[in-house]
């Protein structure tokens, strides 16, 4: 169907610097995910002209795939048994781990110290139900985009930001730490 249509719509993250972010370049996005999406699209079609990159936040990925709004998605998504019943996954192309970003001045050294505190998490992420189940006393503040959590942390609206750090592109992790105003703590 994709080859017959001569167009492939690929969902990518719209706002993760270094990973995938909206841009004024012809593809509309730049970063590691966007570059990979363009390569995959070109391989599927045999040419790059029908490759359309679509900005898709984490909570929208599966919904847009199932609705046919996008043909495939390239992005940070945790493979879970529930998600495997909904869509097909490729083999993982990145290794990631869950971490908390805290202000460098924070004295928090364990998750139990976050009980009663507000922590930002991306809505629809695999982190969200995990935190709800394992640490029910942490107040989760769900954001529609991953970078929304970072903004809440920068403004002081939350004490930590739950985030998945990937080994594929370092991007955000290195960017956040170069000014020493924050630190990462692996969960």
Q: CA 11, CA 41: separation in Å to the nearest integer? A: 11
Give ∠ CA 89-13-94 in degrees, rounded to 5.
50
% pLDDT > 90, the chain: 35
pLDDT for 180 equals 40
Nearest Cα to Cα of residue 72 among 82, 81, 62, 80: 62
Q: Is the per-residue pLDDT at 171 higher than 80?
A: no
pLDDT in tens, 2-36: 888 899 999 998 887 777 888 888 788 988 889 99
Domain boundary among the residues 86, 111, 145 is at: 86
Quick one: pLDDT at residue 85?
A: 92
Structure confidence at residue 142 as a pLDDT band (50, 70, 90): very high
- The residue out of 48, 64, 86 marking a domain boundary is 86
Q: Which of 64, 86, 108 is the last residue of a domain?
A: 86
Residue 167: band (very low, low, confident or very high) from pLDDT cuts 50, 70, 90: low
The phi, psi pair for 79, rounded to 5°, reads -80, 120
For the chain, the domain total comes to 2
Q: Using 50, 70 and 90 to split pLDDT, how confident is the model at 176?
A: very low
Q: Could you tell me the CATH number of the domain that includes residue 121?
A: 3.40.190.10
Query: In terms of domains, do 80 and 143 share one?
Result: no
Same domain, 60 and 122: no
- Give the pLDDT of residue 182: 44
My answer on whether 82 and 109 are in the same domain is no
Query: Three-state SS across 121-145?
Result: EECCCCHHHHHHHHCCCCEEEEECC
Specify whether 154 is located in the same domain as 77: no
pLDDT tens-digit series, residues 40-95: 999 999 988 999 999 998 778 899 999 999 999 998 787 889 889 999 998 887 77
169 shares its domain with 125: yes
Of 32, 44, 39, nearest to 7 (Cα)?
A: 44
Query: Structural domain of residue 132, as residue ranges?
Result: 96-186
Helix, strand, coil shares of the chain as percentages rounded to 5? 35, 25, 40
pLDDT at position 145 over 90: no
Query: Does residue 187 surpass a pLDDT of 90?
Result: no
Name the residue among 102, 117, 125 with its Cα closest to residue 185: 102
Asked if residue 176 and residue 126 are part of one domain, the reply reads yes
The structure's pTM equals: 0.64
- Per the model's pLDDT, the better-predicted residue between 170 and 111 turns out to be 111
């Amino acid at each position: 169907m994709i080859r017959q249509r001569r167009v492939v719509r690929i969902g990518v993250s719209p706002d993760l610097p270094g990973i995938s972010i909206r841009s004024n370049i012809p593809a509309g996005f730049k970063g590691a995910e966007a570059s990979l999406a363009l390569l995959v699209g070109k391989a599927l079609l045999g040419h790059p002209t029908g490759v359309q990159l679509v900005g898709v936040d984490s909570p929208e990925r599966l919904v847009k795939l199932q609705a046919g709004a996008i043909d495939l998605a390239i992005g940070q998504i945790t493979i879970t048994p529930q998600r495997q019943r909904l869509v097909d996954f490729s083999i993982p192309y990145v290794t990631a781990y869950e971490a908390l970003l805290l202000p460098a001045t924070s004295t928090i050294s364990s998750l139990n110290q976050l009980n009663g505190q507000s922590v930002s998490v991306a809505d629809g992420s695999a982190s969200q139900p995990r935190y709800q189940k394992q640490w029910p006393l942490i107040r989760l503040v769900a954001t529609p985009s991953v970078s929304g959590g970072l903004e809440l942390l920068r403004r002081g609206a939350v004490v930590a930001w739950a985030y998945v750090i990937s080994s594929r592109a370092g991007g955000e992790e290195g960017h956040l730490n170069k000014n020493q105003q924050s630190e990462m703590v692996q969960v």
